[in-house]
Amino acid sequence: MTDAHREPVTRRAEQLDTIAAVLPIDRRDELAELLTDQDIETLRHLVTEGMGENTLRALTSDLAYLQAWSLAATGASLPWPAPEALLLKFVAHHLWQPEQREIDPHHGMPAEVEQNLREQGFLRSPGPHAPDTVRRRLASWSTLTKWRGLTGVFSSPSLKSAIRLAVRATPRTRKRKSAKAVTGDVLAKLLATCSTDSLRDIRDRAILMVAFASGGRRRSEIAGLRREQLSIEPPITVEGGPPLPSLAIHLGRTKTSGSVHDEVVYLTGRPVDALNAWFAVGRIEAGSIFRKIDRWGNVSKRALEPSAVNAIVKHRAALAGLEPGEFSAHGLRSGYLTEAANRGIPLPEAMEQSRHRSVQQASSYYNNATRRSGRAARML
């Protein structure tokens, strides 16, 4: 890469870092290469408008994917506004029938486009996209078009018809975000792999314990956690033992909270000790809590990317002799509620810590654990 090209890329990377103080952005370095100056300015404008963090993250992720797809499929950056033909091409490339591809290899996304996106890490699983993912990316495309003061054709009858017919022809079964929940016994095995005094072990131990004990926090919440969000609470008195340290985590707005509601969860005992140990060895006095560690053992000032939390869970699962493909960061969230059910903790109490708003969603994890041992399963 020439110096002339490197300078604007470096500038965009610095601008993305300022956004990341509010919005933990995955793939920041790649985004600086991929996005245009106008793209970055649009994202900065959305941040200042106070849009919800998860909405911003989805817009950023979708913009990056759309740019990469456009470059691979057409050889050019996304046009603004996009013509209807390009929108229809996007649908055709992402909602296709596996059975038809066996007959016609040119059906769906062209092989060279698919390979390009796979090499960049934008495509991981084979097969067509989930219809909801396609709809979300088109909605993001439409939103970003409007924020540029332009009018798109996202409501055209032909586009709606193309999506409807494609979805009808490609039924999909819903997959769980994590095949297995990280319950207490699994967590103990993961923590056992963090037994040395190395920086990575101390950091990963704190990540696993904080993510689980704080109610099964989402990977984006863990990656974006900052010291300014923590406040020391009075120690918890336990009969027959020393007082336990306690912290409050001010989550601010979350995926399910209201626009002005400050969500708060608590840590008590061992997770606080693990966090304090990381603060000490990582010299984390302010800013991002969980940071990258380079090959020489230097702690970066930059926060971990959300995908890194997922990678840590899988890495620790592999070290523990478990199948890493069966676990993900979301397993900590489902595992928290499953473990709460195993220990007889009432669902409303568990939801206070997990901050689930939907009883139906929370109970879907909770009931799987209680049904096997409940009276309804022991009629005979």
User: What is the model's pLDDT at position 299?
Assistant: 93
pLDDT band at 141 (very low <50, low <70, confident <90, very high): very high
Q: How many residues does the chain have?
A: 380
Which CATH number among 1.20.5.510, 1.10.10.1200, 3.40.30.160, 1.10.443.10 corresponds to the domain 184-376?
A: 1.10.443.10
Q: Which residues of 288-301 are buried (b: 16+ CB within 10 A; e: fewer)?
A: bbbbebeeeeebee
341 φ, ψ to 5°? -65, -40
3-state secondary structure of 150: coil
Task: Write the pLDDT tens digit of every residue in 233-284.
Answer: 999 988 888 899 999 999 875 454 444 456 888 999 999 999 999 999 999 9
213 compared with 346, residue with greater pLDDT? 213
d(CA 278, CA 280): 5
Task: Write the pLDDT tens digit of every residue in 74-127.
Answer: 999 889 899 999 999 999 999 888 888 888 888 889 989 999 999 988 888 778
Position 325 pLDDT exceeds 50: yes
Cis before residue 81, ω within 30 degrees of 0? Answer: yes
DSSP lists the bridge partners of residue 263 as: 252
User: What is the model's pLDDT at position 239?
Assistant: 82
Q: Which residue do the tokens 């009858």 mark?
A: 157
Classify the phi-psi angles of 226: left when phi > 0, otherwise alpha if psi is within -120 to 50, otherwise beta.
beta
User: What is the model's pLDDT at position 172?
Assistant: 55
User: What is the model's pLDDT at position 107?
Assistant: 86
pLDDT band at 12 (very low <50, low <70, confident <90, very high): low
d(CA 72, CA 110): 10
User: What is the model's pLDDT at position 335?
Assistant: 85
Residues 6+ apart with CB under 8 A from 123: 114, 117
Please state the pTM of the whole predicted model. Answer: 0.57
CATH 1.10.443.10 boundaries in the chain: 184-376
Residue 145 contacts residue 82 (beta carbons within 8 Å): yes
Cα distances (Å, whole numbers) of residue 334 to 133, 340, 363: 22, 10, 10
Position 297 pLDDT exceeds 80: yes
Q: Which residues of 179-188 are buried (b: 16+ CB within 10 A; e: fewer)?
A: ebbbbeebbe
DSSP lists the bridge partners of residue 267 as: 247
Q: Judging by DSSP bridges, how do beta strands 291-293 and 299-303 pair with one another?
A: antiparallel
Cα distances (Å, whole numbers) of residue 121 to 28, 116, 259, 276, 313: 13, 9, 33, 35, 19
pLDDT band at 289 (very low <50, low <70, confident <90, very high): very high
Position 54 pLDDT exceeds 60: yes
